């Protein structure tokens, strides 16, 4: 009973998150590779901890919800980075908007095409479509159009983790040098988690990723109105 009470404390979930991420950072330094992204490693370790230890998901989330409270100040910090890049934003306004529209459309219609090809029912299709926007927007779009929030949230997380893991690889593969293009690609494809990877690549990349998060959310919502 004492162990259960201890595990139910919010500090337990917070410590698990911090330790798993610290291990991810250590592995990244030990083995520099797109596949050793700290976010990916931390997610895998947290899943293993919850699956193999007495810690339940509900107990972990007691601390996880505390961590999510820091999304607001982190967003403010990201806005500050965008403000510092305002001159670059003005100079590239049209390419940024065009890139976000193209990325949002490609994400939505590729999923729609694959779901139609494999005869996936509408509820799952609607849940998978908003995979490249933030969780809050994805849940709202899924719920209002007959989708399943659980699947939508899972799709968003998987998309973000894959973007964080493979974005540096594709940046090198396609020899992307422009920080604006790199940041937009990370933000459009991987929302907040992808933007975290963009921040590792540079301040300009992170700022562009933050812009992409907002624009992709708006554009995806508008396309949803057209589709449904």
- Percentage of the chain beyond pLDDT 70 is 93
Determine contact, residues 220/141, Cβ cutoff 8 Å.
yes
Closest CA to 216 of 45, 101, 135, 122: 101
* pLDDT band at residue 3 using 50, 70 and 90 as cut-offs: low
Looking at residue 74, its pLDDT comes to 67
Average pLDDT over residues 45-51: 91
Looking at residue 143, its pLDDT comes to 86
Looking at residue 30, its pLDDT comes to 92
- Maximum distance among all alpha carbons in the chain? 61
* pLDDT band at residue 118 using 50, 70 and 90 as cut-offs: very high
Average pLDDT over residues 214-221: 88
Mean pLDDT of the chain: 84
Spatial separation of the C-alpha atoms in residues 7 and 77, rounded to whole Å: 32
- Percentage of the chain beyond pLDDT 90 is 23
Residue 76 burial by Cβ neighbours in a 10 Å radius (0-12, 13-18, 19+):
exposed
Q: What Cα–Cα distance (Å) separates residue 16 from each residue in 39, 60, 133?
A: 13, 8, 26
Q: What are phi and psi of 36, to 5 degrees?
A: -105, 40
Closest CA to 68 of 60, 156, 82, 141: 60
Looking at residue 72, its pLDDT comes to 61
Tens digits of residue pLDDT in 157-207 = 889 888 888 888 888 888 888 888 898 888 898 887 888 788 878 878 888
Name the more confident of 207 and 129. 129
Tens digits of residue pLDDT in 136-160 = 788 888 888 888 887 888 898 889 8
Average pLDDT over residues 213-219: 87
Tens digits of residue pLDDT in 77-105 = 666 767 777 787 888 889 999 999 999 99
């Amino acid at each position: 009973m004492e162990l259960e009470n201890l595990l139910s404390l919010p500090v337990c979930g917070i410590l698990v998150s911090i330790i798993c991420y610290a291990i991810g950072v250590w592995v990244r330094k030990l083995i520099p590779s797109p596949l050793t992204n700290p976010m990916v490693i931390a997610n895998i370790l947290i899943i293993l901890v919850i699956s193999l230890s007495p810690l339940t998901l509900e107990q972990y989330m007691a601390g996880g919800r505390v961590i999510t409270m820091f999304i607001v100040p982190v967003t403010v910090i990201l806005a500050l980075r965008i403000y510092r890049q305002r001159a670059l934003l003005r100079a590239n306004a049209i390419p940024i908007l065009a890139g976000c529209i193209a990325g949002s459309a490609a994400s939505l219609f590729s999923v729609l095409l694959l779901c139609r090809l494999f005869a996936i029912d509408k509820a799952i299709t609607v849940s998978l479509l908003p995979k490249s926007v933030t969780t809050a927007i994805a849940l709202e779009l899924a719920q209002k159009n007959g989708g399943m929030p659980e699947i939508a949230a899972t799709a968003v997380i998987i998309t973000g983790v894959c973007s964080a893991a493979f974005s540096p690889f594709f940046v090198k593969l396609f020899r992307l040098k422009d920080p604006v293009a790199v940041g937009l690609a990370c933000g459009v494809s991987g929302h907040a988690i992808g933007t975290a990877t963009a921040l590792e690549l540079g301040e300009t990349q992170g700022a562009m990723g933050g812009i992409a998060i907002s624009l992709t959310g708006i554009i995806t919502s508008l396309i949803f109105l057209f589709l449904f």
